[in-house]
Structure 1
Amino acid sequence: MKLSHLNALRALEAVLRTGGFRTAAEELGVTTAAIGQQIRGLEAFVGRNLFIRSPGGVHPTDQALRLRNRLTYGFWMVHEVLEELRDVHSSNRIGITLPESFAENWFTKRISEFYRLNSEVDLRLNASNRRVDLVAEGFDFAIRYSPPPEDEFACVDLFGDHVLPLCTPGLAEKYGLSESNSTLDGVPLVHLDNRTPDPQWPDWQSWRLAFGVDPGDISSGVRYSRISSGLQAAVSGQGLVLCGITEAYDSVVSGQLIMPFGPDKRMTTEYRYRLLWLKDRNLGALQRSFRDWITGLAHSFNDCVTELLRG
């Protein structure tokens, strides 16, 4: 098999995956001009354009986009081979992709226990809200907040979520928030945009309609695109946030946040947190250990949430 223009193919893969010539150049440690030169050389070699160049910018052709996943998977496999040749113990590595806010507010606070039990683990975390392709990008597991997965995945159902208003004790006292005084009138609200496609995840309007709460001006307040930012805004006393108990659990248990309207004014989500991996990918001993560890942790966490919401 003759491999020509390998560097150019690497440049093409990086551009398609990162979305731009500049970002690909930064990742590969070369100049943007060098990336452009490699791409033009590859186009000359294959006899067709791989990008459409216009005054509005440079965009990949449909054919180039169809090659993206195979290119990424191919270079990942080359990386795996090189790691084995360097005698890096890949059997000790676990690659996990998971939602950004879940990683920050739940997972990283608990992973030290797994490290304690498995000191040899080389854990690679990808905290991103992008839907990572497990086939193309080589991760062992994905933790996703999602509906039931496609047939190609094996799955462990970890837990669901409950959404309810949370704020600091001081803010609840200042605005007279209590189980017997359910009103949003005059209360500063924290809004979370782009939270999730879950059809059962409420916004302030759907939550207040579900429980007959006086709305006040629910369009006012501060808006955040990231759940972590909104959660920290509530912890700092900026307002009342409508948040999932999974990511807010530690803040509630520590007393930083409270449920001013009580645990009963909660809405249960449709999606659930799930651990996924490819059915046709054999798990090593350490990967099986991680799967069993997080499954047991999820069961314990479920019990803790149930007790917390019982009041």
Structure 2
Amino acid sequence: MPKAIRVYEYGEPEVMRYEEVAVGEPGPGQIRVRQTAIGVNFIDIYFRSGAYKAAQLPFTPGKEGAGVVAAIGEGVTGFRVGERVAYGSAEGTYAEEVVINAGAAVHLADGVDDATAAAMMLKGLTAEYLLHRTCPVKPGDTILFHAAAGGVGLIACQWAKHIGATVIGTVGSAEKAELARANGCDHVILYRDEDFAARVKEITGGKGVRVVYDGVGKDTYPASLDCIAPLGMFVSFGSASGPIENFNLALLAQKGSLFATRPTLFTHAGTRATLDSMAENLFGVVASGAVKIPVHARAKLADAVQVHKDLAGRQTTGATVMTP
């Protein structure tokens, strides 16, 4: 019987149990995948801890992975048994085998290996919608990306640089600063040592940036708003340091008639046509070599507890991939 990580109660990493589970046959619109690589993301921590609530307890965490189609449910026409697939918005991927909605899966391009796919689907598609859909970045724009050495950050900063933007990134250590510079950042700010809003104003000659992409949350708000040029945009797409509480709408007026949005991948990738278009854009930029997907840590699925400890402790850069 295949194994999976199961969470019976919300809490610290130790609540995750590695045990045998029965994997049913795929229902209408579903496929069963024998996974070869599993992506790890901050959203998995939100669900495990209870910051986000699962549909029911117990549950298996995980949104991202890659593998081979093992069985196909009724009405599924786009996939065949034996094909390689990847996904970034599935459910329950911390498992050897998983049944997912076919709508979450895309065909995996030949030039992309399974570990790279599992490392880039959620993070890469997030970077895609942030840079191309939420606030489309144009050549000549100056942008600020928080946590530039994180999983989404390293992909997004390379991609924004490739588009032709000037990229300012914030990081938490000198090592991460070097990594960010090597992955598209023109300017790197050590947010623990410097006032990042003041530095952004300095770098931009007082103008500010067109957009701030903020996956950090509590620790960077409201200072992020002080970095934005009038009529610019604040894009809050995550809360690694805790959620932004009591968001004050009036601040947007005071700081220069700013726009603010809280997008998610699941809304952006909600239709087959859009998901395919996003994946094609991502695979294209990776296949061309313009964006490299850094897999900095590999672990066994059985070691998920330690993987979560490392991610939550800001010990990781780039992507972590687990294998069954």
Task: Judge same fold: TM > 0.5, yes or no.
Answer: no
**Larger Rg belongs to:** 1
TM-score for both structures, normalised by structure 1 = 0.26
Q: Name the one with the larger helix percent.
A: 1
> Relative CO higher for 1 or 2, CA cutoff 8 Å, sep ≥ 6?
1
